[in-house]
Amino acid sequence: MPNRRFVILTAILAASLAIAAQSPATLKDAYRDSFYVGAAVNAAQFTGSDLRGAAIVAKQFSSITPENVLKWERVHPRPGVYDFALPDKYVEFGEKNHMFIVGHCLVWHSQVPDWVFEDEKGKPLAREALLQRMREHIFAVVGRYKGRINSWDVVNEALNDDGSLRQTKWLQIIGEDYIAKAFEYAHQADPQAQLNYNDYSLENEAKRNGAIALIKKLQAQGIPVAAVGIQGHDSLDWPSAALEDAAIEAFAKLGVKVAITELDIDVLPPVAPGSADVSLNVKADPKLNPYLNGLPDAVQKALAERYAGLFGVYLKDRAVVSRVTLWGVTDGDSWRNDWPVVGRTSYPLLFDRMGEPKPAFDAVIRQAARPVQR
Ligand code: G3I
């Protein structure tokens, strides 16, 4: 007869294994059967100079997006000059960790040097010359990582909040078809890559309708848009779960995938809910920065519930949601600390400033084991 102590130890071991099996400790394992869980990474993380950050990314995430190093001003700062040193390291990091690797972003109105739109004399370029420049950039950057970067944000933030096309130099010089052209060039440069249209506030009706009209128009021309990227710069009360769900379903009806590409949840006093307009800059004010010394438990709890609620929606829509990417790793890394007010202490992510998982992390892990909503 086995002794009593052996029986108790075996029972404890079995119970621990059962609990471990029910609650996987990592985001990528918890959501493995549903979608990739990604993070936007900075150079310190993927070069390993931030060892703690690199370890969290490698352990927790199945996809990465470069927060800045593939933006035009970084990768192609001057005519004919490309700097691929950091992007090469970024891609190597993703490959080493067997990740779904995202490229961000090819055509955007922001972080593009002025020379791109001008001739040698500083005069605005004509349409054909700018198209040629765009094509050359896309072929150089997408072509270099052909078969290695799995998915590209081809056009970023082309829409205004009312759904009309944003007045950018791309639009003014080339005309409306600059979007179709960017997708065509990216597809030619890497026919296998998944190509995305990426924007913020797509949950709001007017902008969502603008995006739907844009995608339909591209589809009618045979342009290969594979996914819509809903950025997901959210707050505690925007967008509601219902609004998020409706946006995902509306894009699903177009036959494209949806990626949540830049998720973070702001708990600070709202200044520009739903927006991610990089040009916004609000004057610093202590009233706008209330959690300088830590997040009160009640807000921590509200953040955890909010994350769980949104992941509940993504899980419900997992047939169409292919990836959920957090815009950063720890709270200390987040762009939210400096936008739209410089120097705030923000808490938008799943890991705290010490790299420890927050209650929001546990809530997201637990959500994966809950019954999926219908
Ligand atoms: O690296 C330099 C540093 O050397 C310099 O001393 C410092 C002084 O300004 O600037 C540093 O660069 C900043 C960079 O972030 C790294 O921190 C840039 O000024 C700043 O403009 C840049 O902001 C980025 C922003 O896009 C604009 O490109 C944010 O990190 C990045 O999170 C943010 O990401 C965007 C997505 O690409 C598109 N959707 C919205 C999202 C949030 O704005």
What is the overall mean pLDDT for the chain? 94
Under 8 Å CB-to-CB from 47, ≥6 apart: which residues?
86, 89, 93
Query: Quick one: pLDDT at residue 13?
Result: 46
Lowest mean pLDDT: which of 17-31, 107-121, 290-304? 17-31
Assess whether the C-beta atom of 335 lies below 6 angstroms from ligand 1: yes
Query: Quick one: pLDDT at residue 309?
Result: 98
pLDDT at 9 over 60: no
pLDDT, mean of residues 92-112:
98
Query: Quick one: pLDDT at residue 311?
Result: 98
Q: Write the residue with the smallest CA distance to atom 14 of ligand 1.
A: 68
317: closest CA among 236, 372, 235?
Answer: 372
Our answer to whether residue 176 is catalytic in this structure is no
Our answer to whether residue 249 is catalytic in this structure is no
pLDDT, mean of residues 167-174:
98
Query: Quick one: pLDDT at residue 24?
Result: 54
Choice among 157, 184, 203, 244 that is catalytic: 157
The structure's pTM equals 0.93
Assess whether the C-beta atom of 276 lies below 6 angstroms from ligand 1: yes
